[in-house]
Homo-oligomer: A and B are copies of this chain.
Amino acid sequence: MADFTPTERTQVHRLPKRGVYDREAVYRILDEGLVCHIGFVAEGQPVVIPTGYGRKDETLYVHGSPASRMFRALGKGADVCVTVTLVDGLVLARSAFHHSMNYRSVVIFGKATVVEDAAAKREALRVFTEHVAPGRWQEVRQPSEKELNATTVLALPLEEVSAKVRTGPPIDDEEDYALRVWAGVLPLDLTPDTALPDDRLPKEIAVPEYVRRYTRKRG
């Protein structure tokens, strides 16, 4: 697949060296993230709502209730901006001014379409479940027809997309390197704690491997 072509909206103007249009690099960020922020315009006002998602090939899927105002608006073809952000660390510089964060973010512009076909919808839900916990889909009860009908799945093509990435140490003003203040990076990571079995789970059902060794790291 070809890399993304910057458009007027996805061209990174400020700090252009942070702009990333490499398709595989963008996909790795999307595959590592858990939550996206969906932006849309409702009666002229911006609205930003967090939600889960999944990716397959060149499509991002989100799902929700048919009763949700957001999903109804997006299903009708409203313009949407979907942003995924991973925080990788605090960048602690010697001056307040040069403090920063290491991060990776992806911004997607476009219009979503409703996935109507039952098989395609089921596949999107598989993608969704596997995005959250790879290995999970095989183990759980599959969606019933009633559940499929109670779910709106939206597909957003990954066409107008860019990423921004900051990595590395603080960049201080030359004279500030002489200051006697600690400087560096504090890496941050979304990490799992011990799994909490449901109260009604029989004791003999062990925590599956994909939960015990859970990580969001990809590629």
Contact = CB atoms under 8 A, between A and B. Distances in A.
A143 B96 contact: yes
Nearest to A173: B141
Interface size class of A (residues with CB under 8 A): 35 or more
A48 B38 CA distance: 8
Contact of A39 (B9, B39, B133, B176): B39
Nearest to A197: B184
Given A39-B47, A47-B81, A83-B37, A141 B179 contact: yes
B205 A50 contact: no
User: How many of these chains are in the complex?
Assistant: 2
B190 A14 contact: no
Contacts of A136: 92, 96, 99
Contact of A208 (B170, B182, B211): B182
A14 B65 contact: yes
A190 to B, nearest CB: 5
Given A132-B90, A195-B185, A211-B92, A83 B190 contact: no
